[in-house]
Amino acid sequence: MTSAASPKPPSRLVIASRESPLALWQARHIQQRLSLLYPHTEVSIYGMTTQGDRILDRALDKIGGKGLFVKELEDALAAGTADLAVHSMKDVPMVLPDGFAIAAISERADPRDAFVSREYSTLSDLPAGARIGTSSLRRESQIRARFPELIVEPLRGNVQTRLKKLDDGQYVAIVLAAAGLKRLGLDDRITAILTPEESLPAPGQGALGVECRADRSDLATWLRPLNHEPTAACVRAERALSRALSGSCQLPLGGYAQDEGRQLRLRGFVGTQDGSRMLHAELTGDVADPESLGSALAASLYAQGAADILAGLQH
């Protein structure tokens, strides 16, 4: 597994992870892959509870965004308590703090959103006034644009907590990432998969990122085999789009790239939270330069008036 130029694998690696069931599944997945690559390395998981996990009574966009799920893990990396952290790429801020790097992006799972309901088969079946829960302004904006008669309300907590709130009757339906349900073996709870045309995914959705300190070139070398280049190119394009639009979970924004060989097809949207204004764009570009494709798509959205939407969201 190593060449004369590669650093010898360490005797021990520590993965920092949130302690939610889904985060731990993701960390164990990377743990297993590293153990196969480096059978003589002890790979352990250091579980942590982040601020994003502790504050559950407010919407993410009101308390600082998805970076709240990442900061404590980065603190563990900076302190040397852990060597690497595993994240869902859709939760990683578009600009990493100085001193950190995403060393690998693993092959993407299902990037789409899932509709879950005990009573109705699809979003279009929901009656006027039905309460639907989601944690995402991106999903809320798209649902409101298509179904303004529905009541969309914030839904926080881990996957199991969200399903329990549905089962307890707090919502008629909920929408969440299909990948999370499938990774937890909860495929049977998926009522319907929403196509990208119905609900454009978030940048990075379905992909796992492995983060380490930027000064750990040895670690970056060991992690390189985890990187799936087609997925990484797609995620880089999506994140460049979001970054150019100042994307965070305070912004209703979707970005989804698909690998088409030498080309990437990138779709994006930005909208108002109430769905009253939605801007869409699509471009195809060179797979070797995904950041330029993302920037070009952002420019297309700005040309349609995205700056006005962004300005409105800041008030």
E-only strand ranges, the chain: 12-18, 42-48, 84-88, 100-105, 113-117, 131-134, 151-154, 173-177, 192-194, 208-213, 253-260, 263-271, 278-286
Count of CA atoms in the C-beta half-sphere (13 A) of 81: 14
Strands, sheet with 278-286, edge to edge from the N-terminal-most edge strand: 253-260, 263-271, 278-286
User: What's the CA gap between 281 and 298, in Å, rounded?
Assistant: 8
CA distances in angstroms from 113 to 27, 61, 141, 178, listed in the order given = 22, 19, 14, 5
Pairwise CA distance, residues 266 & 286, whole Å: 11
**What residues form DSSP beta bridges with 175?**
115
Q: Of 211, 203, 205, give the one whose Cα is nearest residue 227.
A: 211
Residues with catalytic function: 91
The HSE-up count of residue 99 (CA atoms within 13 Å, CB side) is: 8
Distant-in-sequence, close-in-space partners of 158: CB < 8 Å, separation ≥ 6: 20, 21, 22, 53
